[in-house]
Structure 1
């Protein structure tokens, strides 16, 4: 029978052992997800539900890092990390193989063993394949997630990176950089620490909140959890920060996580002041970030899930993500079709530009009417 941990700390030894050898996304470190749980997870009423399967010698061979939240009256088990995690996978020892039948049995046994059992397992944003690893939690009946993710294979040199973009695109970037330099002295900042890192976090929060308001969407930072997560992970080094400043004023930011040779961008922002935004500071920082990663020997870069023009402009890989649902109880069996239909609707809106524009206008009208 698998172990089910209702405390993250109790699972830490197994988690860190598997994370050191398994194929995993940067979002799945114990350090990052424990901070996520202590800030956002607790605020949202989540409880840990970490499943560990062991071999005959008691060694961990598979860990699925979950938490349970209540929605529509049902207890839903999802990956720790919530919307902040763009890529979710089980942590599986390289010498072990799992298929759908084996994982279904593992999940059901875990549910039967725990008094805190979920009614439904709902696994979002799972790549079918990630760095040569075929994800067995993408079942035959799994459905495409609402959005794609976007990635880029980084070349070995800055010259080769520049060659990935057209001469016209490079010329436009140079003109934008020169125009912004007329406002003040430009400085690209990579991996700052201490007080400067915290200043960049605060700028990101303000800039992103302003952007959410203009778009008429819910502000991620209206609650304290997301702000606390950024502040804490910037302080302990769980996330990496990059910024562009003009005369010391932070005008664009990137926050991401690293593992091995991969950088995963989690959040970005830019100053919407017209004098600044007309020079596309976000694009300038994005290219400076990619150059920095190449110089440091990184091989993979991704901009996470969600459609955006700037992602298409730099990424050469569209990563299909999948959602998996596995009902455990009658309540879960009733809830699963509701979540599935909501997923299909959300995906249709996001993948149909005309519908996305109409939906965006409706959101802004609702905001004005309030």
Structure 2
């Protein structure tokens, strides 16, 4: 059983910190905090609810949620963590990551300044836990973590990759995909259209389970330690895809021909940015058509047509991202 740190009023600070083992991320108070904070889509209520429902139990990890409330009890700060209870990591604490949360950041109400005293009391609330790990941290969230943890990060050996659209989109595409790549993708798309049609669909909430099951099958044997190949990973992504489609957090795109799905792309909506997370393709039937690149190209066009301004390929230094005109951003990790 997780030891829960009792709440206490911080001297000379308006916040009360508490470490708790249960928190309702679907609650109105968390929704208010999230909408008034500079967090990412990976801290959305639907993402964290699904994370603690499916991922944490499967990894033998207990929830450890740090909350900071002002004098009137209003939630002003939250850090979602887990504590491992099994194996070599027994007792170690990390952010709610477990291999699926690409960008980790504290959820801090806009306008709240985290000073040194607040930071000291935040760390006191954590207690003397060994092996606290906070990562992966995007460059844009470094200042918040520095203020809260009062330590410097290390740089990880992988980066994040994103591209900002120019307009009109067709002109931007010709420049950023480079003429030979754009032409090659267009040729392959035309062949598929001629042989069996080609259409990009947006998966509805009720179809999310079938789409994720197809994605799992397409990805079988292709990626080591793929969360989607586990029962809990499939449930997690299905949960986020279905509930996220209703709330506006997530989109699952399906590229289909007359013979069925060719590829699926799943990601999170974060303002004007689409954060791509999963790609699954029927390489057995369509390997020569570059189905992954075709699907990403079509999804990028669809996102731009919907008013999107940025396309984030998230973490990992796969070479294909350079071909889409991405800019690399360093990723970091904090340890206590």
TM superposition score category, shorter chain reference: 0.7 to 0.9
Relative contact order higher in (CA < 8 Å, ≥ 6 apart): 1
**Correspondence for 1:39:** 54
**Correspondence for 2:139:** 128
Q: State the 1:74 CA deviation.
A: 3.7
Q: State the 1:185 CA deviation.
A: 1.4
Q: 1:54 to 1:156 in 2, by over 3 A?
A: farther
**Correspondence for 1:50:** 65
Distance 1:103 1:272 in 2: 52
Q: 1:104 to 1:91 in 2, by over 3 A?
A: same
Would you say 1:272 and 2:283 are equivalent positions? yes
**Correspondence for 1:190:** 202
CA contact 2:159–2:328 (8 Å) conserved in 1: yes
Alignment of 1:1-370 (within 5 A): 1=8, 2-9=17-24, 12-70=27-85, 72-98=88-114, 101-102=116-117, 104-112=119-127, 118-129=129-140, 134-137=143-146, 140-162=151-173, 163-195=175-207, 197-212=208-223, 217-236=224-243, 237=245, 238-273=249-284, 275-326=285-336
Q: Secondary structure at the match of 1:72?
A: helix
Answer 1 or 2: which has greater helix percent: 1
Q: 1:325 to 1:78 in 2, by over 3 A?
A: same
CA contact 1:139–1:324 (8 Å) conserved in 2: no
CA contact 2:273–2:308 (8 Å) conserved in 1: yes
Q: 1:97 to 1:300 in 2, by over 3 A?
A: farther
Q: 1:323 to 1:198 in 2, by over 3 A?
A: same
Distance 2:58 2:197 in 1: 41
Q: State the 1:235 CA deviation.
A: 2.5
Distance 2:212 2:64 in 1: 30
Q: Secondary structure at the match of 1:211?
A: coil
Q: Secondary structure at the match of 2:267?
A: strand
CA contact 2:160–2:316 (8 Å) conserved in 1: yes
Distance 1:103 1:282 in 2: 47
CA contact 1:152–1:317 (8 Å) conserved in 2: yes
Q: State the 1:93 CA deviation.
A: 1.4
Q: 1:164 to 1:315 in 2, by over 3 A?
A: closer
Q: Which runs of 5+ in 1 are unaligned?
A: 327-370
Q: Secondary structure at the match of 1:145?
A: strand
Q: Secondary structure at the match of 1:9?
A: coil
- Aligned residue pairs, count: 313
Distance 2:26 2:117 in 1: 21
Q: Which runs of 5+ in 2 are unaligned?
A: 1-7, 9-16
CA contact 1:5–1:11 (8 Å) conserved in 2: no
Residues 314-323 or 54-63, more deviating: 54-63
Q: Could you report, residue by residue, the CA deviation over 1:221-242 in whole angstroms, capped at 9, with x for unpaired residues?
A: 4431001112222322253101
